[in-house]
Amino acid sequence: MSDVSTQLLDATRTGINRAAEILRGGGLAAFPTETVYGLGADACDGRAVAQIFDAKGRPAFNPLIVHVASLDMAQDIAVFNDDALRLAAAFWPGPLTLVLPLRPKANLSPLVSAGLPTVGIRLPEHPVAQQLLTAFDGPVAAPSANRSGKISPTSAAHVAAGLSGRIDAILDAGACPVGLESTIIGFDPMSTLLRSGGLPVEAIETCLGAHLASHSANATPNAAPNAPGQLTSHYAPTAALRLNATTTRKGELKLGFGPDTQADLNLSPSGDLVEAAANLFQYLHRLDAQNAPIAVAPIPAKGLGLAINDRLTRAAAPRP
């Protein structure tokens, strides 16, 4: 879809109802979640879902996450095993996506799961997302609301910069508090980390009382992913990115972490990984707008640092 006029909606009752109406009419509405902004469509409407791929310029093999208003709705769509139920009880609503066997009777457009027998499903915590999902009263397919391969949006302005004129509406509720996409867990048959994200792996392992298996598709650059979406170059700013930079080279902008007097922007001067996650995409957007190479300080690989390093590594990877 292109050349449509994109309405900017406030996150009031009226705005939320209007966004639900757009979804019911087969349109596309971007909405806030606690992780990043999602680009929503009715998950049962194949034409609407196809428009998501078109608006994002997204490769068709990459399946979408279904957002639901309740665990009941989730169980109508997917078959939960014991570990999945335990994780949902502990962390939903929240930044966690579960990949589970799809119930054929759920009636989702097959485009949502890109033809896979599984579906990624999530119950978001953001009150505006919850109000929208409750008002719509059905599953909403929503990838992050950015053009494919670009940095995920953590504000309505980021969504508008990438998708204005290509989608029907943007529901604006300010900045996303977590700032990183959800953590994705699969069960095939072991509980497996498919994508690190806004819920730390350590919390999941503590809840399950076991280590997560890890997923190796990351090792195959830009291959059609079997647990998809893990394209090596992703979240890419236009400018080059250099990781683990302790010094800055001529012409580079510095993205700092911890005490750093050279930093142009600092993810967290106090070294707090939660604050750094919340700032990551916003700061990449801001530095990218200056069109110069970016040097990024080392980030510790623990807690949310795993997800931050994952996104930075993809952003720095050679472009396909």
Q: Considering the rule CB under 6 A, would residue 310 count as an interface residue with ligand TXA?
A: no
Residue closer to ligand TXA, measured from CB, 54 or 270: 54
Helix pair 127-136, 13-24: axis angle to 10 deg: 50
Quick one: how far is CA 85 from the chain centroid?
A: 22
Runs of H (alpha helix) within the chain: 13-24, 46-56, 71-77, 82-91, 127-136, 156-163, 201-208, 273-288, 305-316
Residue closer to ligand TXA, measured from CB, 38 or 305: 38
Q: Are 267 and 275 in contact (CB under 8 A)?
A: yes
| Binding positions for Mg ion, rule: CB under 5 A | 144
Taking the C-alpha atoms of residue 178 and residue 35, their distance in angstroms, rounded to an integer, is 5
Q: Considering the rule CB under 6 A, would residue 213 count as an interface residue with ligand TXA?
A: no
String marking each residue 99-138 x if it binds ligand TXA according to CB under 6 A:
x-------------x--x-xxx-x----------------
Are β-strands 183-187 and 7-10 bridged in parallel, bridged antiparallel, or unpaired? unpaired
* DSSP-assigned letter for residue 47: H
Q: Considering the rule CB under 6 A, would residue 228 count as an interface residue with ligand TXA?
A: yes
Residue closer to Mg ion, measured from CB, 167 or 295: 167
**Which residue is associated with the tokens 């580079």?**
252
51 binds, among Mg ion, ligand TXA, none (CB under 5 to 8 A by kind): none
CB of residue 152 to Mg ion, shortest distance in Å: 5
Sheet holding 253-256, edge to edge: 241-242, 294-296, 253-256, 265-266
Taking the C-alpha atoms of residue 290 and residue 293, their distance in angstroms, rounded to an integer, is 9
35 binds, among Mg ion, ligand TXA, none (CB under 5 to 8 A by kind): ligand TXA
Q: Which residues of 157-168 are buried (b: 16+ CB within 10 A; e: fewer)?
A: ebbbbbbeebbb
CB of residue 234 to Mg ion, shortest distance in Å: 7
Q: Which two tokens stand for residue 193?
A: 């980390």
Q: Are 40 and 28 in contact (CB under 8 A)?
A: yes
Residue closer to ligand TXA, measured from CB, 27 or 63: 63
Residue closer to ligand TXA, measured from CB, 201 or 295: 201
Other beta carbons within 10 angstroms of residue 34's beta carbon come to 20
Name the closest residue to Mg ion (Cβ). 144
CB of residue 250 to Mg ion, shortest distance in Å: 33
**Which residue is associated with the tokens 């911890």?**
258
Restricting to residues 32-71, name those near ligand TXA by CB under 6 A: 33, 35-36, 38, 62-65
Q: How distant, in Å, are the alpha carbons of 129, 150, 165, 293 from that of 29?
A: 11, 19, 12, 33
Name the closest residue to ligand TXA (Cβ). 229
CB of residue 75 to ligand TXA, shortest distance in Å: 16
Residues in binding contact with ligand TXA, number by CB under 6 A: 28
String marking each residue 169-208 x if it binds ligand TXA according to CB under 6 A:
------------xx-x---------xx-------------
304 binds, among ligand TXA, Mg ion, none (CB under 5 to 8 A by kind): none
Q: Are 279 and 268 in contact (CB under 8 A)?
A: yes
Residue closer to Mg ion, measured from CB, 144 or 266: 144
Give contact residues for ligand TXA (rule: CB under 6 A).
Answer: 33, 35-36, 38, 62-65, 97, 99, 113, 116, 118-120, 122, 142-144, 181-182, 184, 194-195, 227-230
